[in-house]
Structure 1
Amino acid sequence: MSLYQYLPLRDGEIRLTKLEDISCDPSDVTPAITIIKKQLKDAKGTYEALSYAWGNSNHRRPLPCGDGCYLWAGENLHSALRNLVRRRRQDPSLSSNWVWIDAICINQDDDVEKNRQVAMMRSIYRSSVGTVAYLGEEENDSRLAMGYIRGVKNKAAQAWIEWLRSTDVAAVVKAQYPAMEHDKEFIKEAIRMEESRSFNEILAELGSSDWKMFGALLPEKHRILRGIALLAARPYFQRTWVIQEMAVAQKTILYCGTDHCDLAFMAGLFGNTFRPAGIRLADYVDDATRTDLYRGVAQLLMAFSLSTKIRDGEHRSLFQLLQSSRAAQVTHAVDKVYALLGLCVDFEEFPVDYGKSKVDTYIDLAKQLIQHGQGDDLLYEAARSDHSSSECPSWVPDWTKMPIRTNLGCTLSSTAKWYCDASGVLKRRTQDYRNPPLRMKLLCRGKKLVTEGAIVQKILVLGSAPPPAEQVSATSNAAHLANILDDLSTFKDRLSKRVYPPTGQPIDTALATILEGDQPHNTIGLTNWNEEPSSRSILYEIDKHELQQQSGKRRYGFAEALHQRNFTAIENMAKATVGRRVAVTNKSFVALVPAGTQRGDQICILQGALVPFVLRPCGDGYILVGDCYVHGMMLGEMFSKEEKQPEMQEIIIK
């Protein structure tokens, strides 16, 4: 056989594949395909889109594609095609005759074609009858888990039908459609008239007891929840492309082998049933799998939320999408950007160019974000990851690096009842005014960023460093938080005064405030951590019992102040300290600084910035280490004192 030769595509054309079985053994499957070209507008509604994880490209199999030709298919794609054939054997009504498959329908060796086809991806998935999301072969109780999800869906749907029939919605539907007899027709019309809020309430009611959730399957509860957790931890949910593929699809069905369940309902269980019921899926997997679980659940919930917003006509900016998908993975680094272009409204014309390097693509995007007035957010986001091993300049977010700390630049201040205001430029501080009119002065010079700021202090003493970690969820742990408590307690013991010198506050009150980063309670402090609230809580899970045990072994002089600020509000402390360590400056200010901070690094307040930054001198400029919380300079105090104020100077960040 010879390698298949692609023919060029005309404008607006796509390729589709017809899946066949050429095995002579009825008990076996040997997938083969036929490839055709068709105008997308003419193909609408005639094909399914296959979504899957590419997997290891070193393990490939030949895939016959007619006329004695073949294409190479990765192991996971080959597995998906085999099971699609089996699915069609079991129930032909489940399958379309034609399937769009990215690895086959796009010539992967032609960058020009890739550029054009990737720009069409949203339309390709939107025009399909639905998306088949292939998670991999059946294993780890996946059949039990998917069967449970289907069963609960049927149970919840029946309860919803009964509720709808008892409401005014039912009366209106019956009056307009008196001949309506079938539940499917009733539901379709009722959904059009009634938001899904009521269905979510039914899902929450399921979580009110184990019996309602599991019924006769209660003895299998552990196996079911472990199976569901391992489904969410599969590589499929780690992919950036999944977000668009699931968000714009008409519907998405998840498959393991030939077994299946509905994506939307699985997401509904996570957000509306398991969480209110206090079910922690992390308890059902080992430590090595937990990070993948956090990441997978966050991606799944975000994609489902986006699909709802898209249907309602809402959209997010590219920057917001990039922020909320930093934990997702790609085969090609540039796809961290390209995979999201179809979901945004502000960067739809950003050029797709697979001939451009990761660094050049990220720098070009950063420059455009600055031109769009999002430069300050850009620096806050760049501060969330470690640039020591990145090829990108320190002021450019490396979107392939997962965040290892939170974004203090969008954290609410309990003291100010508003955002932090380190540079002292905010004039209005009301909760109703959520878009403060300030911008840093930013100018790009090649790969350098020129801005203005004041170097105010230096790092003199550093506390314990957190354990190495790849992302936020892995660094939020009770042991490190207990070490920070120790470091703050040590600072207090060495301070002869009973007040915190920079502010004059009682030392216990000041240290308790530092521990929480001055965040208020009963509010979501990180307004641009764009995962849905349910996934945000999962990402910041911390074992409260373990922390209480750790703190119980020590005597903290400021424990009473912590209790007054609601010591059980562990989430605030986790957010403030994750990926950070305690530091003391040359003027006795106590700070929470990035884990990679070194003695001699400098505290800088950039003009227009909400929070201070840690900078490291480097030749004629500085390296951005990250943002920091410095108690006593978060609300413009350095620029409001009567004594000489810090002088602004040109700051070059490399």
Structure 2
Amino acid sequence: MTDVPPLLPPRSGHRYTALAASTIRILRIFDGTGLEDPLTCGLETFHLNQLPPYEALSYCWGDQKEKHEIILDGSKFEVATNLHSALLRLRLHDKPRLLWVDALCINQNDIPERNSQVSLMRDIYRQAECVLIWLGGPVMVDDKELWAIPHLLEAQEKNLKRTDLPIRHGTKDWVKYVMSSDWATNGDLGDRRWNAIIRGLVSLLQRPWFLRTWIIQEAALAKHSVVVCGSHYVDWEPFCRAVGYAIDLDYFASTSPEIYSALRNIERARRRLAVGQFQRPLDLLAGFRIFQATDPRDKLFGVLGLLDPADLKVLQLKRADYDMEVRDVYTQAAIDCMALEGNLDVLSLGGKFSRSADGSTRTLPSWVPDWTFHQERVKPLHPRFLSTLSFGNYQQMAPQSAACDSRASFSVSADRSVLTLSGYVYDSIAAVSDVLARDYYDPQEGHPLTPARDKEYEWSGFDPEVEEAVRVLAQWESLCGVPASAPYPFTSQQPAQEVFFQTVHANCYPSGSVSQTRARFELWYKPFLELRSITAAIGEIDGFAGNESMSDWQKIGAGTKWMGKVVYKTAKFGFKYALATRPSRVQHNATMVGLGRVMFKTGKGYVGLTERNVKAGDKVALVKGGRMPIVVREAVNDGGDGDDQSEWEILGDAYVHGIMGGEGWDEARCVEMRIV
């Protein structure tokens, strides 16, 4: 193919020719200038062993409804807006450019070709001279183009700390303020300049590229990457340094921690691959769960290129197959993870209630994880997955496995709907608390000392959501025996307060150590106690306000004493709240594991944590190869009577204080358990 655009009038439609094995097409973008010259391209076919120097494009497909016309091999061809913009930006003025672009180099209407070409993407991105990461057009701040990366790199090189910069609070309110239309009217010149920089970065990181599943391997496999945004470009490594610097300043930990943690996971994967280190399939799937894909099967297919070739040989799901249904892809992935590792860690990511809202995965068995992301899904309790899914360096007092060192024993029914495990019901859930749905110093508007503008609070001035959290914590304390002095009978006579502390963290401490976490927990926990004390004091007014046996002077005296008590307790509460929420305390605020969960107590007296849909009567089961207990509910069964016919649905994994080291494990009790 020549380097000169075709002179013949374009044909009405492009036709792909079949590809031979181990061959790919590469797009040649002919030179041109500005918007006047039409985008003229051609496709050339090469064997993987005879590739010319080329680049590969990493981009987001975006809205496919709005199309733009290009000329491809002399034919008219329509591409979506984002790709059209990328090709215009990357077209050279004086010579052609060779670029691999999935939407053009793969015949998207040919399923067998898609299957074959997707399996080659690992080689395509590894062998590219450079991967060009297209983030879209320029970032505009106050109607002006702003490229934040150089400013952040400059601050990092100067080693400017949090206290050296104008903005020091990484809260949701702060981001809301920075993104508001009046950001430039507040503060001095330094404030306004830094506000603009961070606003530009926030806008940049909200581009859809950052949550597209396929970009994981595209960025991680590249030997060299360049980020392109509008007219600006920067190498991947300094780009990650700039974003990482902003993360370290705590500008994002309280907003969307999973997104920024996912970026770090990409860079971690890239560095590991560079030295020949690979993650297990389950860790990759869990770490990148927040990423999105138009086709839910791509949540699996999009990470296959990052797997250890040795693991890939063992898996049944070793290449993309778009003839498979979503249910079959997800089910096979779960089976592969269990068979590959010999444990049942994958069950921590499953559960009857962890299904996508759109109904696309509601037919999955309860033991198969739904990899489509939905925000309300609580992170698994298994320590293996906590640090990869959010900020925090989660540590345990000691490694734990409720089933000791047993290896998984399982089989799958012919229709792949039933997983048969070896295990037993250990205990029954007798009582369940309400959900602890809110952190005390939640970074949204409406904390107890600053009522939100759009909420009408009671005269006491406290946020009812925080008062609800106080009420739920009281339930949790009661289940753990706080403040009673009776020790916990299952863990060497532990005091109830220590049982409470360890259980709300599920023995996973996000501050890097137990002692550091305990110090932060006390800062978080004490204002709850003070607020409870204030609420109780406020309620005392009912004891004398309507007491007809008291004289008016007695009521005035009691009221004065009551007011003094309320004022004193409120001031004490405010002081402890200020301590708990000052920036140096909440930096990288990895929340305790119990948030978003319920606490339960079993018939035998154990306390634990699990997911919010559990109710009294559900069972705690221990299974071979299951390091975490699972909560199960008996399913509707038409197979007959008797325990051997019982079928169970998994509700979620659980932390049960006192059996996490195998204290409740008895392999002799194991029977077949059918999980549907």
**TM-score category (smaller protein):** 0.7 to 0.9
Deviation of 1:336 (Å): 1.5
Matched, 1:259 2:232: yes
1:553 corresponds to which of 531, 551, 561 = 531
Deviation of 1:571 (Å): 8.3
Matched, 1:460 2:423: no
Tell me which residue corresponds to 1:511. Answer: 500
Matched position secondary structure for 1:55:
coil
Deviation of 1:357 (Å): 1.0
Equivalent-residue separation in structure 1 for 2:35 and 2:396 (angstroms) = 70
Amino acid at match of 2:280: S
Equivalent-residue separation in structure 2 for 1:227 and 1:78 (angstroms) = 24
Matched position secondary structure for 2:674:
strand
Equivalent-residue separation in structure 1 for 2:258 and 2:617 (angstroms) = 35
Deviation of 1:97 (Å): 1.2
Equivalent-residue separation in structure 2 for 1:416 and 1:501 (angstroms) = 22
Matched position secondary structure for 1:329:
coil
1:445 corresponds to which of 404, 413, 435 = 413
Equivalent-residue separation in structure 2 for 1:72 and 1:593 (angstroms) = 50
Q: 1:147 to 1:136 in 2, by over 3 A?
A: closer
Check the 8 A contact 2:608/2:654 in 1, yes or no. yes
Matched position secondary structure for 1:596:
coil
1:18 corresponds to which of 28, 32, 36 = 28
Tell me which residue corresponds to 1:418. Answer: 398
Equivalent-residue separation in structure 2 for 1:572 and 1:261 (angstroms) = 30
Amino acid at match of 1:327: I
Tell me which residue corresponds to 2:252. Answer: 281
Check the 8 A contact 2:631/2:652 in 1, yes or no. yes
Tell me which residue corresponds to 2:656. Answer: 630
Tell me which residue corresponds to 1:108. Answer: 108
Q: 1:244 to 1:482 in 2, by over 3 A?
A: farther
Tell me which residue corresponds to 1:184. Answer: none
Matched position secondary structure for 2:427:
strand
TM-score in terms of structure 2 length: 0.71
Q: 1:484 to 1:83 in 2, by over 3 A?
A: farther
Equivalent-residue separation in structure 2 for 1:351 and 1:650 (angstroms) = 33
Q: 1:351 to 1:122 in 2, by over 3 A?
A: closer
Deviations 1:97-151 (A, max 9, x none): 1111100100001111111111111211122221111112223439988644236
Check the 8 A contact 1:615/1:626 in 2, yes or no. yes
Amino acid at match of 1:591: G
Equivalent-residue separation in structure 1 for 2:270 and 2:52 (angstroms) = 19
Q: 1:119 to 1:133 in 2, by over 3 A?
A: same
Amino acid at match of 2:372: T
2:378 corresponds to which of 392, 404, 417 = 404
- The worse-fitting range, judged by mean Cα deviation, of 448-457 and 262-271 is 262-271
Check the 8 A contact 1:582/1:593 in 2, yes or no. yes
2:84 corresponds to which of 71, 74, 78 = 78
Deviation of 1:348 (Å): 3.5
Equivalent-residue separation in structure 2 for 1:54 and 1:415 (angstroms) = 39
Deviations 1:174-198 (A, max 9, x none): xxxxxxxxxxxxxxxxxxxxxxxxx
Tell me which residue corresponds to 2:209. Answer: 236
1:143-222 alignment, distance < 5 Å? 147-150=147-150, 153=153, 203=157, 205-207=159-161, 210=164, 219-222=192-195
Check the 8 A contact 2:140/2:146 in 1, yes or no. no
Check the 8 A contact 1:450/1:652 in 2, yes or no. yes
Equivalent-residue separation in structure 2 for 1:591 and 1:62 (angstroms) = 60
Amino acid at match of 1:259: H
Equivalent-residue separation in structure 2 for 1:306 and 1:576 (angstroms) = 25
Q: 1:310 to 1:586 in 2, by over 3 A?
A: same
Amino acid at match of 1:628: A
Equivalent-residue separation in structure 2 for 1:483 and 1:53 (angstroms) = 45
Tell me which residue corresponds to 2:71. Answer: 64
Matched, 1:319 2:282: yes
Q: 1:416 to 1:12 in 2, by over 3 A?
A: closer
Equivalent-residue separation in structure 2 for 1:573 and 1:84 (angstroms) = 40
Deviation of 1:366 (Å): 2.3
Tell me which residue corresponds to 1:49. Answer: 56
Equivalent-residue separation in structure 2 for 1:10 and 1:440 (angstroms) = 43
Matched, 1:7 2:22: no
2:45 corresponds to which of 20, 33, 37 = 37
Tell me which residue corresponds to 2:243. Answer: 270
Check the 8 A contact 2:364/2:370 in 1, yes or no. yes
Matched position secondary structure for 2:532:
coil
Equivalent-residue separation in structure 2 for 1:569 and 1:646 (angstroms) = 47
Tell me which residue corresponds to 2:121. Answer: 121
Check the 8 A contact 1:519/1:572 in 2, yes or no. no
Deviations 1:326-375 (A, max 9, x none): 11111212211221111111444513211111111122222233332344
Check the 8 A contact 1:603/1:614 in 2, yes or no. yes
Equivalent-residue separation in structure 2 for 1:136 and 1:466 (angstroms) = 40
Check the 8 A contact 2:425/2:622 in 1, yes or no. yes
Check the 8 A contact 2:424/2:669 in 1, yes or no. yes
Deviation of 1:250 (Å): 2.5
Check the 8 A contact 1:544/1:570 in 2, yes or no. no
Equivalent-residue separation in structure 2 for 1:43 and 1:303 (angstroms) = 27
Equivalent-residue separation in structure 2 for 1:455 and 1:604 (angstroms) = 4
Deviation of 1:213 (Å): 12
2:340 corresponds to which of 356, 372, 389 = 372
Amino acid at match of 1:487: Q
Equivalent-residue separation in structure 2 for 1:548 and 1:204 (angstroms) = 38
Tell me which residue corresponds to 2:98. Answer: 98
Equivalent-residue separation in structure 2 for 1:146 and 1:415 (angstroms) = 40
TM-score in terms of structure 1 length: 0.73
1:244-643 alignment, distance < 5 Å? 244-271=217-244, 273-276=245-248, 278-281=249-252, 290-291=255-256, 294-345=257-308, 346-349=310-313, 350-382=318-350, 386-387=354-355, 390-401=362-373, 404-408=378-382, 410=384, 417-423=397-403, 425-426=404-405, 438-446=406-414, 447=416, 448-465=418-435, 482=470, 484-491=472-479, 498-503=486-491, 504-519=493-508, 523=512, 550=528, 552-555=530-533, 574-618=591-635, 619=637, 620-639=646-665
| Identical-pair percentage | 24
Check the 8 A contact 1:61/1:75 in 2, yes or no. yes
Higher alpha-carbon Rg: 2
Deviation of 1:246 (Å): 0.7
Check the 8 A contact 1:146/1:261 in 2, yes or no. no
Matched position secondary structure for 1:465:
coil
Deviation of 1:33 (Å): 2.0
Check the 8 A contact 1:441/1:607 in 2, yes or no. yes
Matched, 1:136 2:136: yes
Tell me which residue corresponds to 2:673. Answer: 651
Kindly report the root-mean-square deviation, in angstroms, between the aligned alpha carbons of the 2 structures.
4.1
Equivalent-residue separation in structure 1 for 2:113 and 2:209 (angstroms) = 25
Equivalent-residue separation in structure 2 for 1:573 and 1:588 (angstroms) = 30
Deviation of 1:220 (Å): 1.0
Deviation of 1:378 (Å): 1.9
Amino acid at match of 2:43: I
Matched position secondary structure for 1:222:
helix
Q: 1:217 to 1:612 in 2, by over 3 A?
A: same
